[in-house]
Every structure is written in structure tokens, then in C-alpha cells.
Structure 1
Amino acid sequence: MSRTIALAGKGGTGKTTTAALLIRHLIKTGRTPILAVDADPNANLNELLGVDVDVTLGEIKNELRTAVPDSMARGDFIEMRLNEAVIETDDFDLIVMGQPEGPGCYCAAHAFLSQALEKLMKNYAYVVVDNEAGMEHLSRLNMRNIDHLLVVSDASSRGVMTAGRIAELIKPLQLEVGTVWLLVNRAPQEIPQTLDDYVQKICDEKDMKFLGYLKESQEVFEAEIARRPLLELVDNTEIVKEASQLFEKILKGA
């Protein structure tokens, strides 16, 4: 039975970096097979995982208007193109939503992705979903059953407050979430007491579990500048050790 871990948070908090580190940890601890889902129209999870993207679900969605051959049933065409959209590696598979062309919102593409996920998720032990900022897209994706929602914040009071507001959206969007976690990312080496107190206050008020602080990492910064996949980080790197300890709290349901 698949376990779904979705990441949420405002832009710039490092959700995609966190998703890549989580996927790395799942691979290293033998928790496979893994499906990574990049549900952000501005997709870049593939870069942190070191794979190229040939086709996205947004592109396939646009093909449905004009590219279905007269000799092929629409359902058969969709299934064929979906199989081509799954990027397969030895350690994980990746599917990318991408950005649909033309005017209008992303709602149709999100619905298209939700149909694809329903079929694909059953084949994987873990599904890691990297989302755009906010929460409404999870509802549009029809991802109403999420085992763990990991809300990522930066190390600021404003960021933590925004994370709390994101957690509040679960009920009005009718999402079924097992556990909501708060991760404060890119934290300084010394955590100010005022920040720590505020984190605990928001977690108590918004019914979130505090996962912990993930410190600012020079290794991650250098890897991203050099466009090296985060999967290549050395095991004894400080960020890898810290992240692994935090992720185990999620995976073991602490």
C-alpha cells in the first residue's frame, strides 16, 4: 500500500530541495519503489534528481485537443502517452506536471495529473509530491488522502506564520491528512529563543507536529550552483545526516 508524503509551503522555502533530500533518504534506506511527482508548473525537481524531462503531463493534456489519431481511441492514446511521461531510473520514477501552454488556469492539467496519479500510485511503496506554493492545488489534484503533509518554512516568524495558515486550509479543502509536520529550513546554527518559542506556539495552535530545524548548508548551495544532483551528496555530509534523522521521524510515525 502506497504512503504519500506531500510538501507544501510558500515559495522560496526550499520545498524542492527538501523533496530531493527525502527521495535520497528513501533510496538509501531501501524504501522502494518510489514515485516522485513534480506538481509545480515551474518544474525543477528533475534537476536536483539528475534526470532529463522529455514530456510533461501539461504537454500531453494540450495534445488531447488536436493530436489524438483518428485510428486510436482517446483512452488508448492517453495510456500510451502517460507511459512515455514516466521517467524511469534504477532508484525511482518521476512524473512531471509541467506548464500547460495557452491561456487559462492550470485546473484541467491538475485534474489530468490526478487521474494519472491514481493509476501510478498503486505501484509504489512511497509517493513524494513536490507542490507549488499553497494548498489549493492538492484539492484540484484530487489528492485527498495524504499520509504526511510536510509544510516547509524559512527561519523567520513570518514564514512560520504562513506555514500555520497553510495548515489551516486542510479542513476547508476537505483533505484527509494523517499527520501535518512543520520543518523550518535553512535555519542558522544557533536558533534564537524567540523563534523557537514562536514555532512551538504555532504548532500548538495549528495542530502541527514540529519536525525540527534543517540548517543552512554550504554543500547544498555548492551543489545547486554547480547543477549537481543532490542524490550525489556524500553520506556523511552534515545536511544529509540532519535530514535523515528528521525524515526518520516521519517514516516511523514519531
Structure 2
Amino acid sequence: MKAEKTIGDMREFMQQSRYTTPPETDKQVLFESKLFEILLEEDGYDLLVMGKPEGSGCYCFVNNLLRAVMDKTVANYDLVIIDTPAGLEHFSRKTIPDLDDLIVVTDESRRGLTTGERIRDLAKEIELKYKDLYVVVNKVTPGRRMAVLENAKSLGLKVIGTIPYDECLAKFDLVGDPLMGLPDDSPAVLEMRQVIRELGL
């Protein structure tokens, strides 16, 4: 699935509109109409893609725009999933609103788990409000699963899923096939179902 328009595109439009729209234009109405243009509606879910603004410069405007989009849309849904890039930027810039569950997806390495620890500590430092922080560990080899769980426990992290390396998933990823097409008996699918149950979804 590819989004034709993103929040980054919306940013460009909103900046240009300051010079091209009459002063009496209701900026809120303009904002909402553009928001509906970039919202990708699918069967059972809607999708908004952050994208990135054209040109160089600070991301302050697009981050502020992201906050405004979140404030406007979150109340319309029973469940909102925010998938951010790896790293701590979205937390430190406070572009993420208050959460129910904060889920860190990482690999089986000690370094990856330490990133989960850093995210937890940063969330506390910036007073991000959330109920629970969970870790999902990806590409876990069977012989290392217990070591992964022990490492996570030593860092005070709660692991709710260890997604095993799945050859079928790797093939899907290689050719760009959507993961929604994975078979029901895929090891990764079976473990993700357990994660969903753990989250009470």
C-alpha cells in the first residue's frame, strides 16, 4: 500500500496557503479539508503517513502539524496505532500524545534491549504519560530466547512477544509482498496473535 499524499505534503500546502488564500479564509476549515484529502481509507482501518517536507530546514512546523493532526483525529477511533521510525526523536520532541501502551520493537541484541531502557527513561524524563511499556523482540532464534528474556528482565523490561525468525516472512519482505498475506500457521503470525491477546485487543 502506498499513500499518495502525506502530512509532509500537507505542510507544504499550509505554508503556501498563507500567501495564496484570502485573509478571510477559515484556516481551521482549510486544515480539516486537507486532512481528509491525505487520509487513506481502507477496509477496517484508515492510514495517515507522516512523509517528509520538501526542501531543507527545521522540522518544527511539520512536528507541530503532526500534533494538530493527532489532536483532530484520535477521538474518532477506538484504536490508534502510531508507528514511529527507530530512535528517540519523536519522544524528545513530544510529537507523540499521551498513550495507553508504549511498545518498543527491537532485535535480540543487548544493544537493542538497552534502547528500550533508554526510551523508558526518556519517557519518564519528559513526563510522557502512558500506562504500560512493553517490548516485542523481533527475529529471535530459538536457542537465544531464554537469554533474551533474562537480559530484558535485568533491565526491568516486560517482554510480551518474541517473534521468531520466519523464512516465509523474510521471503515476503524480500519481494515487497504485504505481510497481511502471511499464512495463518506462520510462526511470526502465531506469535503476533499472542502479543495481541497480551494487549487485550
TM-score, with length taken from structure 1: 0.72
Instruction: Look up the match of 1:243.
Output: 192
Q: Which has the higher strand share?
A: 1
The alignment-based identity, stated in percent, is 28
Other structure's SS at 2:56 match: coil
Instruction: Look up the match of 1:97.
Output: 50
- List structure 1 segments (4+ residues) > 4 angstroms apart after TM superposition: none
Instruction: Look up the match of 1:211.
Output: 160
CA distance in 1, matches of 2:79, 2:104: 18
Contact 2:161 2:192 in 1 (8 A): no
Matched, 1:70 2:25: no
Decide which of 84, 108, 111 is 1:158's aligned counterpart.
Answer: 111
Q: Can you list the C-alpha shifts for 1:26-82, whole angstroms capped at 9, x where unaligned? A: xxxxxxxxxxxxxxxxxxxxxxxxx22111111111122224642443222211110
CA distance in 1, matches of 2:193, 2:146: 24
Q: Which has the higher contact order (CA 8 A, sep 6+)?
A: 1
| 5+ residue gaps, structure 1 | 1-50
Letter in 2 for 1:127: V
Contact 1:179 1:209 in 2 (8 A): no
Q: Which moved further from structure 2: 65-74 or 157-166? A: 65-74
Instruction: Look up the match of 2:76.
Output: 123
Contact 2:70 2:97 in 1 (8 A): no
Letter in 1 for 2:21: D
Tell me by how many angstroms 1:128 deviates: 0.6
CA distance in 2, matches of 1:102, 1:110: 15
Other structure's SS at 2:131 match: strand
Letter in 2 for 1:148: D
CA distance in 2, matches of 1:199, 1:154: 11
Matched, 1:52 2:2: yes
Contact 1:139 1:175 in 2 (8 A): no
Q: Within 5 A, what are the aligned runs for 1:187-202? A: 187-191=140-144, 193-202=146-155
| 5+ residue gaps, structure 2 | none
Please, what is the CA RMSD of the aligned residues? 1.8
Tell me by how many angstroms 1:172 deviates: 1.4
Asked which structure has the greater CA Rg, the reply is 2
Judging changes above 3 Å, is the alpha-carbon distance between structure 1 residues 245 and 66 closer, same or farther for their aligned structure 2 residues? same
CA distance in 1, matches of 2:115, 2:91: 17
